[in-house]
Amino acid sequence: GMADPSYLETILAGQLQALQTDHLEVYMLHAAGVKGEQLQAAWRSMEEMHEQGRVKALGVSNFGVEELEELWSFARVKPVYLQNIFKVYKPGEQLLGASTMSVLEWARRHDVRMVGYSIINSWPQLLPPLEDPHVMAVAQRYGKTPSQVLHRWALEHGVAVIPKASSRERIRENTALLDFALVPTDVALLDGLATLSESIGTEFRP
């Protein structure tokens, strides 16, 4: 598995060959919940790839503050990129019950660029964020779609976004994220949905 250097080496070699290149700009360890010796071994392999010049920068995905702190305690080459779920009900958090926005705050303090995915995903909350009346009201004020408002909200926090683009209409919708900005009061309103969500609770669904 990931603790075996030859495992990651084989994966990287195959990816470089498939992409017909001799290096990658960013290489990411996607390993939520990996800790201890396994995390150290995997990261040592990543660092070797970086030192060899085959990977220009290192990143991680689905890491909470606890995992990031552990990684920081031994990493010679620090990650510059953090890719996490970033939705209005749980901004950046990978575990339910974690303090709101703590991952984003941690990333800012350590100069790590955060990238958010599943911005409009509802799980495990009952109410899809696209149907949240607060989101819909903000969208109506700006003449934008709820999806555009949610992605713009993430951008207002300095979080890069990876919006889904499965159709021409969706692509056009996504390209309109940069022609408007949310005023601070609307950003604060959307931020408050995380606190509201915690008070209501969640439902786990398969």
pLDDT (tens digit, 0 to 9) for every residue of the chain, 206 residues total? 666 778 888 999 999 999 999 999 999 998 766 788 989 999 999 999 999 999 999 999 999 888 899 999 999 999 999 999 888 887 655 544 444 458 889 999 999 999 999 899 876 666 789 999 999 999 999 999 999 999 999 999 999 999 888 888 888 888 889 999 999 999 999 998 877 655 444 443 33
User: Is residue 177 domain-shared with residue 187, that is, in the same domain?
Assistant: yes
CA distance linking residue 94 with residue 71, whole number of Å: 16
User: Is residue 71 domain-shared with residue 101, that is, in the same domain?
Assistant: no
Structural domain range at position 74 = 1-79
CA distances from 134 to 109, 150, 160 (A): 30, 11, 23
CA distance linking residue 1 with residue 62, whole number of Å: 18
So what's the pLDDT on residue 66? 87
User: Is residue 44 domain-shared with residue 144, that is, in the same domain?
Assistant: no
Q: Are 82 and 60 in contact (CB under 8 A)?
A: yes
So what's the pLDDT on residue 203? 46
So what's the pLDDT on residue 183? 97
So what's the pLDDT on residue 100? 43
φ, ψ for residue 82 (rounded to 5)? Answer: -130, 120
User: Is residue 34 domain-shared with residue 107, that is, in the same domain?
Assistant: no
User: Is residue 40 domain-shared with residue 107, that is, in the same domain?
Assistant: no
The total number of structural domains in the chain stands at 2
User: Is residue 41 domain-shared with residue 90, that is, in the same domain?
Assistant: no
